[in-house]
Amino acid sequence: MFPTKTAARQHFLGARANRPVEDLLPAARVLPAVQNAQRVALYVSRTPEPPTGALIDWLLADGHEVLLPILYADNDLGWGVAPGAADLVPGRLGMSEPRIDLGSFAISTADLIICPAVAVARDGVRLGRGGGSYDRALTRATAGTPIWAAVYDSEVVDTLPADPHDHLVQAALTPGGLVPVG
């Protein structure tokens, strides 16, 4: 369908710019994997990504611990505990980040990882923005930890271009629900 990752990114990011925003919280909070996870690695979304703010707030209010990424100068990711959206600080590339960095291996302590994506293929290929940050970070996840990518329903597709270093995901979390892939 897409000859290159660049073409796929352009297609999906262009479509996102013209779509209404749909929240992930209604779909996520009813899922047993979310309810049972003590520590969830998540991210603070930016427009036009599917919003994660309400999900982060709900997880914190429900007693879960939330790890949020900290973008390093080399595009690798460290992780910090979410204190609440008001206590985040500006990070690189406009990201909102926790003040305290627990290091790049903190992701290995997560019971569930929900990462950003531009699209997800039914075979588990996750298309990110192209920096490789999450592909590196996901190699540090503990074996067996569920890894989901947050996308809109229309961004779950049959196939996407992939490279050997791409880290696969097990599901796409969409406003419409959880779509198993892989």
Q: Is 49 annotated as ligand-binding?
A: yes
Q: Which distant-in-sequence residues (6+ apart) come within 8 Å of 114 by Cβ?
A: 28, 40, 41, 42, 43, 52, 148, 149, 150, 173
Q: Binding residue per annotation — 103?
A: no
The annotation status of 155 as a binding-site residue, yes or no, is: no
177 marked ligand binding residue:
no
Tell me if 128 is assigned to a ligand binding site. yes
94 is in an annotated binding site: no
- By the 10 Å C-beta count (0-12 exposed, 13-18 middle, 19+ buried), 134 is classed as buried
Is 134 among the annotated ligand-binding positions? yes
Q: Is the peptide bond before 48 cis (omega within 30 degrees of 0)?
A: yes
Residue list, annotated binding site for ATP = 126-134
Residue list, annotated binding site for substrate = 44, 49
Residue list, annotated binding site = 44, 49, 126-134
